[in-house]
Amino acid sequence: MKSKFLVLALFFAQLATAQSYQKVHKKALLIDSHNDILSKVMEREFVIDQDLTGKTHSDLNRLKKGGLDMQFFSVWSDGNQKNPYKYAMRQMDTLDAVIKRNPDKIVKVKNSKELLKAVKQHKIAAMIGVEGGHQIEDDLKKLDTFFQRGTRYMTLTWNNSTHWASSAADETKPGYQQPKGLNELGKKIVQHMNQLGMMIDISHVGEQTFWDVINLSTKPVIASHSSVYNICKHRRNLNDEQIKAIAKNGGVAQINFYPLFLDSTAEIKFDALLNNHKEEFASLMKTGLSEYVAGDILVKKYSNEIEPLRPPLSLLIKHIEYIINLVGVDYVGIGSDFDGIEFTPQQMDDVTSYPLITKALLQKGYSKKNIYKIMGGNMLRVLKANEQK
Ligand SMILES: [Zn+2]
């Protein structure tokens, strides 16, 4: 039998860890480089400033509660969107409206200096990440407008290739015939982004596009929401050569929380689950919902079937540690993909769960200094490097 004193000592030790991880988390500058709440609220007619618990992973108050300091809000549409530029502008309008209604909680920032000022004022600093180069409609002037409106990175492709860059989804398609990589316009766009100080995001791009960018970019690049291929062999993940190249380039790989990118067994199981409910899925799609929203509704409805598919938090930590072990602690960060993914790892229920990552890293023995780098320090370094003329 344990003595009472031992039980008490253990209790206080646990309490001390609990308090200290929250303290460390609060002190860390937390930058999440990818959250899809903007497109979600537009499709579902939600309002970010309201409590959306149970409906979404994120809302304004929960972001604050999770200790988030800076968010890259993703502006996204798929390749079927008829007017992608207009649709992107509407998402930016949505963010501006939220900021206008909540000036004490959130502010749009245009550079690292404004970012740090916002953090001092205990406000969420907001920047935009345009996810999918098709949204500039092959027009550099539209890219300039995005920059003026606070876009500080652009993911060159989404799953659909653009006229000037091939995506991972296309490059890995059997029988894909189109040219791979960047063409002349693609190179011009990358150079223009370098000049503007808009970070180049290589998440979603094909391998040939990746290497073309690495060879061309004069500034550090980011992978805003990708995980490790060697742990989970998914085309959206980064292989060892890519991770090494990002480190050499001074960039950063921001780990995605999506179970299908973390656990190599998850995709088959998830496809089987969707297949079991395919009639319901088809009827949801018929109501005009996107594939992604329909999937989201099904996942919520059958959450008991999803539960066994959720990998443990330790697997997410394993992806972070893999990069640290391969290239060092300076090249990894957080790119959750909250509200762009139908389900999440265990314990990572929503944006209030970030402190548990800090807790896990402390338990693994990482120093505060290194945890600060992972949480946002590395991303801030890359942002600053892109601001240099
Ligand atoms: Zn994405």
Residue type present at position 265: T
What are the domain boundaries of the chain?
21-263+311-387
Over residues 311-329, the mean pLDDT reads 98
User: What is the whole-number distance in angstroms between the Cα of residue 134 and the centre of ligand 1?
Assistant: 14
Count CA within 13 A, CB hemisphere, residue 127. 29
Percent over 90 (pLDDT), the chain = 89
- Asked if pLDDT for residue 128 goes beyond 90, the answer is yes
Whole-number Å distance, alpha carbon 169 to ligand 1 midpoint, is: 12
**Residue 295 pLDDT:** 86
CB-based contact 204:236 (threshold 8 Å) = yes
Q: What is the mean pLDDT of residues 321-339?
A: 98
CA of 100 to the centre of ligand 1 (A): 27
What integer best gives the mean pLDDT of the chain? Answer: 95
User: Mean pLDDT over residues 272-279, rounded?
Assistant: 92
Task: Tell me the CA–centroid distance for residue 341 and ligand 1, in Å.
Answer: 9
User: Is the pLDDT score of 260 beyond 70?
Assistant: yes
- In this predicted structure, the answer to whether residue 359 has a pLDDT above a threshold of 80 is yes
Residue 83, both tokens: 């007017």
Q: What 3 state SS string does the chain have?
A: CCCHHHHHHHHHHHHHHHHHHHHHHHHCCCEEEEECHHHHHHHHCCCCCCCCECCECCCHHHHHHCCCCEEEEEEECCCCCCCHHHHHHHHHHHHHHHHHHCCCCEEECCCHHHHHHHHHCCCEEEEEEEECHHHHCCCHHHHHHHHHCCEEEEECCCCCCCCCECEHHHHCCCCCCCCCCECHHHHHHHHHHHHHCCEEECCCECHHHHHHHHHHCCCCCEECCCCECCCCCCCCCECHHHHHHHHHCCCEEEECCCHHHHCCCHHHHHHHHHHHCHHHHHHHHHCCCCHHHHHHHHHHHCHHHHHHHCCCHHHHHHHHHHHHHHHCHHHEEECCCECCCCCCCCCCCCHHHCHHHHHHHHHCCCCHHHHHHHHHHHHHHHHHHHHCC
The pLDDT, as a whole number, for residue 294 is 86
Query: Count of alpha carbons within 13 Å of 315, Cβ hemisphere only?
Result: 25
Q: Which band of pLDDT confidence, cut at 50, 70 and 90, is reported for residue 7? A: confident
Q: Please report the pLDDT score of residue 15 as a whole number.
A: 62
Residue 2 has pLDDT above 70, yes or no: no
pLDDT band at 379 (very low <50, low <70, confident <90, very high): very high
Q: How confident is the model at residue 281 (pLDDT cuts 50, 70, 90)?
A: very high
Centroid of ligand 1 to alpha carbon of 324 (angstroms): 23
Q: Is the pLDDT of residue 12 over 80?
A: no
How confident is the model at residue 288, as a pLDDT?
A: 84
Q: Do 167 and 161 contact (CB within 8 A), yes or no?
A: yes
CATH architecture assignment, domain 21-263+311-387: Alpha-Beta Barrel (3.20)
pTM of the entire structure? 0.94
**Phi and psi at residue 330, in whole multiples of 5°?**
-85, 0
Give yes or no for a contact between 124 and 69, defined as CB atoms under 8 angstroms apart: yes
For CA atoms 309, 297, 72, 53, the dihedral sign is negative
Q: Cα(332) to centroid of ligand 1, in Å?
A: 17
Q: What is the pLDDT of residue 238?
A: 98
Amino acid at 254: Q
Distance 75 CA to ligand 1 centre (A): 10
Q: pLDDT category, 44, cuts 50, 70, 90?
A: confident
What tokens were used for 360? 């896990």
Which tens digit of pLDDT belongs to each residue from 170-183? 999 999 999 999 99
Buried b (16+ CB within 10 A) or exposed e, 359-369: bbbbeeebeee
pLDDT at 159 over 70: yes
Give the separation between CA 60 and CA 123, rounded to whole angstroms: 11
How many angstroms does the Cα of residue 351 sit away from the middle of ligand 1? 17
Residue 225 alpha carbon to ligand 1 centre in Å: 7
The predicted structure's pLDDT at residue 3: 66
Pairing label, strands 70-76, 124-131: parallel
Residues whose CB falls within 8 Å of the CB of residue 99, separated by 6 or more in sequence, listed in order? 106, 107, 108, 126
Residue 306: which residues within 8 A CB-CB, separation 6 or more? 273, 299, 342, 343
Could you tell me which residue, 19 or 227, shows the higher pLDDT?
A: 227
Please name the residue that has the structure tokens 């992107």: 88
Ligand 1 center from residue 131 Cα (angstroms)? 7
Residue 323 has pLDDT above 60, yes or no: yes
The predicted pLDDT at position 17 comes to 64
- Mean pLDDT value of segment 247-254: 98
pLDDT of amino acid 197: 98
Amino acid type, 310: R
For 36, the token pair is 């899809």
Mean pLDDT of 92-100: 97
